[in-house]
Structure 1
Amino acid sequence: MSDQHVADQTGPDNGASPPDQAPDESDLSDLAARLFDMARGGQTDQLRAYLEAGVPANLTNGVGDTLLMLAAYHGHAATVQALLDVGAEVDRVNDKNQTPLAGAVFKSHDDVVRALVAAGADPDAGTPPARQAATMFGRDDYRSLWDKPEN
């Protein structure tokens, strides 16, 4: 029986037809680029569909940026929350040792900062840490999000 014939025999009861061939590296590279663009652009619903289909929440580009890092840096709180909901690592650093929280603080994306802190982001992780970035950019209001009053 030929491979094509086997594929013709699969149906709704037998499972989906296998592709004629595995995707090549350029196809995967193109898909990854689209996923990173979705994170940058705040295309939450589209990105969520890929995540639900099995794309890793901590997918990383060539410079170590995760989907979460890109969504946070570009101010997309809903996308950040969707990534956190599927297990994205909140303090994962890129190749420059930067965190999503520090990026959101740098860009003054208040809703993103709150979402990351609520998910347990460490304001002292990375270089520079979010705590230091908040001080450098005069965002003392962020300190109340991570500084606990002493008893």
Structure 2
Amino acid sequence: MIGENSGGLTAEQTDRVVNIAMDLAREGRTDELTEFVRHGLPVDVMDAGGNTLLMLASYHGHADTVRALLALGADPDLRNARDQSPLAGALFKGADEVAVILREAGADPDAGTPTARAAASLFGRRHLLPDRS
């Protein structure tokens, strides 16, 4: 969650802010979401399931939101509580543009369970990932 320095918000208020931000990420409402981050919401904040804003934007195929979150410093390899990565989520959902953006940002195709590489293979998207070196 947000942490100890939450601007004097109660735990309930903090949870509400995080939930609103997560909804903005799911919906691809980039401008509103980036305002939350610019006003102090940690870019890698997690919900109760360990999902980050980047995870949700990636899974829902919002390329512009993914670009904006990465530009604000989001970690492309943070996995959720189920050990899923944003890259694997994008590949699972067929969000090819998002997968390319995440790879260009350095996302690890071999991290998580299942790995992005496994998801790409399963869903016919191996061309989106580089061969292992």
Indicate whether the TM-score tops 0.5: yes
Q: Contact conserved, 2:110 with 2:117, CA < 8 A, in 1?
A: yes
- Residue in structure 1 matched with residue 131 of structure 2 by the alignment: 147
5+ residue gaps, structure 2, are: 1-7
Residues 1:94 and 2:77 are matched in the alignment: no
How far has the Cα of 1:125 moved from its partner? Answer: 0.7
- Once the two structures are superposed, the pairs formed by residues 33-72 of structure 1 within 5 Å of their partners are 33-72=19-58
Larger Rg: 1
- Residue in structure 2 matched with residue 133 of structure 1 by the alignment: 119
Q: Contact conserved, 2:117 with 2:126, CA < 8 A, in 1?
A: no
AA aligned opposite 1:27: Q
**Aligned counterparts of 1:81 and 1:147: Cα–Cα separation in 2:** 24
Residues 1:30 and 2:9 are matched in the alignment: no
**Aligned counterparts of 1:27 and 1:69: Cα–Cα separation in 2:** 22
Once the two structures are aligned, what percentage of the paired residues are identical? 47
**Aligned counterparts of 2:70 and 2:76: Cα–Cα separation in 1:** 7
- Once the two structures are superposed, the pairs formed by residues 110-125 of structure 1 within 5 Å of their partners are 110-125=96-111
So what's the TM-score if we normalise by structure 2? 0.90
**Aligned counterparts of 2:126 and 2:72: Cα–Cα separation in 1:** 31
AA aligned opposite 1:147: D
**Aligned counterparts of 1:111 and 1:136: Cα–Cα separation in 2:** 18
5+ residue gaps, structure 1, are: 1-21
Aligned residues: 126
- Superposition RMSD on alpha carbons, in Å? 1.3
